[in-house]
Structure 1
Amino acid sequence: MSGGAASMLREFAVSLTYPPTLTLSLLVLAALLWWWRRRRIGAGVAMAAVMWSALWSFPFASDTLRGLLEFRYPVVEDAADLPRADAIVVLGGGSHYAWLERPDVRPEQLRYSRLAAGARAWQAGRAPIVILSGGGEGDTTEARRMAKAIERLGVPRSALVLEERSRNTRDNARYSLPLAGREHPRLLLVTSTLHMPRAALLFEQAGARVMPVPVPEGRAPRSWWRYWLPSQRALWRSGRAFKEIVALTAAHLHL
């Protein structure tokens, strides 16, 4: 199989982790089965397809699924409790930082920000440098946008090292390790609680000694009854969890 075909196959497989995409694919299969006069089987496939997306649109189901990954590493609330390391590595996870619009913002105010977690760890003296990992094109790399933002949180430019070549988590690990200044570096790895299991594994496979600094993902407060109301946001959150589970499995298999 050519590289282009393999890439397309991987992209299609990833797209199926989003429940509506898998549902649509199964509905197409159901229609074909109906056309081939396998109507009982086709009806069963169609019913299963609809129920699949319906199930994962419930916040209770979505949060339960995400908990399989999010609870693997506890969130450390006080940066002073973190161990010392050779470097802090912050993985990119967004291009817009709404808190930059605030006239006065401090790291301790931003519980759900990876950059704030990295800033708190540096300010607590846990490591001498902060590696910001995120690729892109020209002057618009994610690492450069992260640098401008984290400087607002009190980390000077002299403490920042930019990794601007990565396109995925495996690249984050491959290109960040040499910037830490030693072989098999001790790294405080900062990313979301959902992404941390895969990121930690890939960095360890690349040769790092990883000390996870997971950052919780914000969620709107809910009344108990809202857990049982389907929503598009819950469906999206379920899709992200399935994507991470599939990618984590692939990382374990070195795929």
Structure 2
Amino acid sequence: GHDQEPEIYFTLTLADAALIMRQKLYVLILVLAAIIGSYLAYPYVLEGAARFLIVRDKLEPAETIIVLSGDNNGERVNEAVQLYRAGYAKKLLLSGGPLAWQLTAASWMKHQARALRVPETALIIEDKSRSTIDNALFSLPLVQQLGHKSVILVTSPPHSRRSKRVFRKVFNKEGIKVISWPAQETEFKLPRWWTRHEDTQFVMWEYVTLVYYFLKGY
């Protein structure tokens, strides 16, 4: 009887080894599946992260179009002027502070709007702001002076979530509705944005600033 014990032990050891091998194989298959799945989902996840930053509300008539400075090719002003011509609002509020000596972003946007045949009487200038929070805080009294209760907010697509959050925080408590309508911008391209340095900077900056603004109460 004693001679059989090593044989039984050896059989059990082989069975245990086979079970461990199977478990390791399952884990390996799961890990490989996760890696392959992540690789395949990677573009969708990253594109979704950038898409989250873009807030485009249902467009409806308002009383003022607020244009935030920050682009290099005038697409925000172009978008606002198109909305103005289509009758979505009767006033354009151009918001942007100092760029260089005696030059502000707002004055530059005004120059562009005038070149696009927008009458001087339709333009309002806010030329002190240096941040999105400033844009909202300094634009509010100008909108209130007009007695307006609704605005269309025009900025770049990746900046639209942060700007909408800030403007809603500042404007909604004063009973002013904010409609986000980002410009059809060519500077930022959503597909495969992570392959381009400038677009990567756009997205990273927006997420960092979103968190920073959230901690500040915006």
Relative to the length of structure 1, the TM-score reads 0.58
Aligned with residue 73 of structure 1, among 56, 61, 64:
56
Residue in 1 that maps onto 2:150: 186
Deviation at residue 95 of structure 1 after TM alignment: 4.9
Residue in 1 that maps onto 2:116: 153
Residue in 1 that maps onto 2:32: none
Aligned-residue Cα RMSD (Å) equals 3.1
Q: Secondary structure at the match of 2:205?
A: helix
Q: Alpha-carbon deviations, 1:60-81, whole Å to 9, x = none?
A: 88645322213x426x7xxxxx
Aligned residues: 171
Q: Secondary structure at the match of 2:87?
A: coil
Do residues 237 (structure 1) and 199 (structure 2) align?
yes
Identity %: 30
Whose relative contact order is higher, 1 or 2, with alpha carbons under 8 Å and at least 6 apart?
A: 1
Residue in 1 that maps onto 2:184: 216
Q: Alpha-carbon deviations, 1:100-158, whole Å to 9, x = none?
A: xxxxxxxxxxxxx1111110111122222100000005531010000011112221111
Do residues 199 (structure 1) and 163 (structure 2) align?
yes
Q: Alpha-carbon deviations, 1:171-207, whole Å to 9, x = none?
A: 0000011111356731110011110100011011112
Q: Secondary structure at the match of 2:166?
A: helix
8 Å contact from structure 2 (residues 188, 199) kept in 1: no
Residue in 2 that maps onto 1:134: 96
Tell me which structure has the larger Cα radius of gyration: 2
Do residues 122 (structure 1) and 84 (structure 2) align?
yes
Change (3 A) 1:238 1:149: same
Relative to the length of structure 2, the TM-score reads 0.67
Query: Equivalents in 1 of 2:51, 2:43: separation in Å?
Result: 12
8 Å contact from structure 2 (residues 71, 156) kept in 1: no
**Where in structure 1 are there 5+ consecutive unaligned residues?**
1-54, 77-81, 98-112
